[in-house]
């Protein structure tokens, strides 16, 4: 029973029409899900992994539609190069991102991940 969750939200064309080739957005979602718990990654690393280092902006834009995806996308594990929770304002609540990361065991201070470099994880 394929229940179609109505993605009547803004990004309706996020899902490819029977497309085998994953769009740039979907690739970002998959990589984000591959992030191990207690680790974080950056937009640039994901973009670079996809082969478009300069398209780091699209990664953030893709995260904007992550909420529209049927599967949960740990967008909270994705932060900017400075390790700062730049996208926290786009979550349900501005503190949700920090809360989620803290649940994972990541310490956050001043909207920035503590020892971010040590918790940084990169896609293979």
Question: Which residues make up the interface to DNA (CB under 7 A)?
Answer: 10-11, 13-14, 24, 42-44, 47, 52-61, 63-64, 66-67, 75, 78, 80-82, 86-87, 89-91
Tokens of 44: 């640039």
Which CB, 1 or 92, lies closer to DNA? 92
In the complex, minimum distance from the CB of residue 124 to DNA, in angstroms, rounded to a whole number: 18
Which CB, 3 or 71, lies closer to DNA? 71
In the complex, minimum distance from the CB of residue 91 to DNA, in angstroms, rounded to a whole number: 6
In the complex, minimum distance from the CB of residue 32 to DNA, in angstroms, rounded to a whole number: 9
Q: How many residues does the chain have?
A: 124
How far is residue 107 CA from its own chain's centroid?
18
Which CB, 96 or 107, lies closer to DNA? 96
Kindly write down the DSSP assignment for every residue of 34-90, as one continuous string.
Answer: TSPTT-BEEHHHHHHHHT-GGGHHHHHHHHHTGGGSSS---GGGEE-TT-B-GGGGG
């Amino acid at each position: 029973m394929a229940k179609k969750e109505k993605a009547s939200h803004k990004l309706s064309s996020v899902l490819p029409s029977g497309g085998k080739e994953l769009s740039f957005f979907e690739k970002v979602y998959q990589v984000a899900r591959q992030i191990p718990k207690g680790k974080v990654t950056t937009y640039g690393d994901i973009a670079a992994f996809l082969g478009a280092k300069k398209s780091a902006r699209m990664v953030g834009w893709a995260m904007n539609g992550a909420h529209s995806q049927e599967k949960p996308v740990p967008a909270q594990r994705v932060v900017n190069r400075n390790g700062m929770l730049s996208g926290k304002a786009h979550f349900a609540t501005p503190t949700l991102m920090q809360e989620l990361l803290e649940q994972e065991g990541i310490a956050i201070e001043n909207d920035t991940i503590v020892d971010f470099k040590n918790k940084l994880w990169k896609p293979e």
